[in-house]
Every structure is written in structure tokens, then in C-alpha cells.
Structure 1
Amino acid sequence: MIFGYARVSRKEQNIERQVRNILAYDSSARLYEEAFTGTKVEGRKEFERLLKMVKSGDTIVFDSVSRMSRNAEEGKNLYFELMNKGITLIFLKEPYINTAVYQKAVSRKIDSTGHKIADLYISATNEAIKILAEDQIEIAFNQAEKEV
């Protein structure tokens, strides 16, 4: 199932652009909307409800990474927690950190050769690819945190 999550910080802000963008991505997305600060996940009732609903194979669409979290550490941890549960995350404004992009980057492992020195370099290269992908995710959440 595809879910969409839209959030504004204050009730007087307009959420319609986010909703429109999510529905343009998938018109059948089940939307969760709320007005609540993004500096913490705890206390966001609609987001908490959504997190209880999603299961492996589901997708959550966000207009931007800042809609998921503006706390870099919490956002990064939640990203990997959801991804490891088999939930796909889509960020319309930051597609380079969608979970499919991360998974593709880390799955492109170079096979070992059986030669000790070559395999040491290959192992280091595979780990470097994973670190670079994780760094991109962290950078995106750090940027969202700076926007607070």
C-alpha cells in the first residue's frame, strides 16, 4: 500500500502543495496530514498512526525529507529502521535518498577474486560505497535540521 505524509508546523500554514505533490506521484496514496513541529517524531499523532499502519512492502511518500524529520539523528535512525522493515521511502524533492537508491548503491558490490590483496581493496571499496550512501542520507537530514 502507498501512504503519503504531509505536515506543516503551524495550523495557519498551507498543506495543499504537499498533498498535491504526493497525489501527483500516486493518486491512490492514503494520506496522513497534520500540523505539528518536525523537530521530533514523538507527539505527531498522525505520523505515529501511520508508523503503526505500515508494514513490509508498503511505501511512504513525503514531499520533502524535512516533512519526515527536522532532527538529523532521529530522522536518520527512523529512515534505516523503516528501510530495514522493508518499507520504501520516497522523498519527492530529494529523490537521491529514496530507499531504492540507497539499496541499489549498497547492492552493487564488487565480487571478491580470491586474491588476498585484491579482495582487501574490494572489501574496502564496498564499505566505502555504503558509507557514502549513508552520508548522503545524513546530509539531507542535517540540512532539514538547519532549516528549523
Structure 2
Amino acid sequence: MQYKKFGYVRVSSKDQNEERQIENMKYLGIEDRDIFIDKQSGKNMKRENYQMLKRLARTGDTIIFDSLTRLGRSMNDVLEEFRYYEQQRINLQFIKEPFINVNYSGESTNDVIQQAVQKATLTILSAFAEK
């Protein structure tokens, strides 16, 4: 089965420029049609294109974010999203924070210690994302 790579880009307002994030996605080989863009605050997880991306992504696919803060600003929301992706076995990649990448397709080892470090780091970074 062919797994897909998707990119998610978010800027907080219509005045901000998303081009740098888009270029990062293209550099990683993500096609334009697989890049989902929202121009609104990360405080709300009900962003239209983000929700569409969640519906399209399947087990084994990878969603790439420029940074954890592009996923969301609320620690509880971010942790809830991680649980959702864990249940769906959808890989997550963060360009600026590769140490919290999550891979369920067997390409890397996610041993118990690594998972514990990832979860602790994710919790800390999520708390900072709220600031």
C-alpha cells in the first residue's frame, strides 16, 4: 500500500505570510494538492482545512507540520490530537522539533524510553505553545 505525505500550514491571521511553511513542505517532496492551509488562530481545532486533512489521512500516512505550534496552541488540544493520531496510527513529523516525531510504520524504533521522552517533551512544548 502506498502511504501519503501531507503538509499542514497555519498562520494566525490573513496578514501573515505562509510561504516559508509552504516552501518547507515542498522541499520535503509534498505536492501542492497535499498541502492544507488555514489562516486562523491555533486556539480553535475546528479549522476547516485541518479537519479535512484529518478526514483524508489514513493509517500509515504522515502529516508534516512546520512546528508544534502550527498544530495548536492549547496544551490539552495538542495532547488530544496526538492521542487521535496514535489511535489512527498516523505518523507525525515536526520540522522544527524532530525529537517529537511519531512514526507508527515501523521505519524507526519507538521503544518505551523514546516514547516516554517524546511524551514528556510534547507536554512541555504544548505548555509553552499556550504562551
Q: Which residue of 1 aligns with 2:62?
A: 59
Determine if the alignment matches structure 1 residue 140 to structure 2 residue 125. Answer: yes
Whether the aligned pair in 2 keeps the contact of 1:60 and 1:88 (CA below 8 Å) is yes
Q: CA 1:92–1:27 in structure 2 vs 1: closer, same or farther (change >3 Å)?
A: same
Aligned-partner Cα distance in 1 for 2:98–2:128: 15
CA RMSD of superposed structures (Å): 2.0
5 Å-filtered alignment, 1:3-18, equals 3-18=6-21
Aligned-partner Cα distance in 1 for 2:62–2:116: 24
Aligned pair count? 124
Q: Which residue of 2 aligns with 1:104?
A: 109
Match 1:40 to one of 34, 38, 44: 44
Superposed structure 1 runs of 4+ greater than 4 Å apart? none
Map Cα deviations across residues 23-62 of structure 1 (whole Å, 9 max, x no partner): 11224361001201101202x0000111111110111010
Determine if the alignment matches structure 1 residue 31 to structure 2 residue 16. Answer: no
SS of 2:45's equivalent in the other structure is coil
Identify the structure with the greater helix proportion.
Answer: 1
Structure 1 residues without counterparts, runs of 5 or longer: 109-125
| TM-score, normalization by structure 2 | 0.85
Map Cα deviations across residues 81-115 of structure 1 (whole Å, 9 max, x no partner): 112211000000000000039x834x25xxxxxxx
SS of 1:3's equivalent in the other structure is strand
Aligned-partner Cα distance in 2 for 1:130–1:4: 23
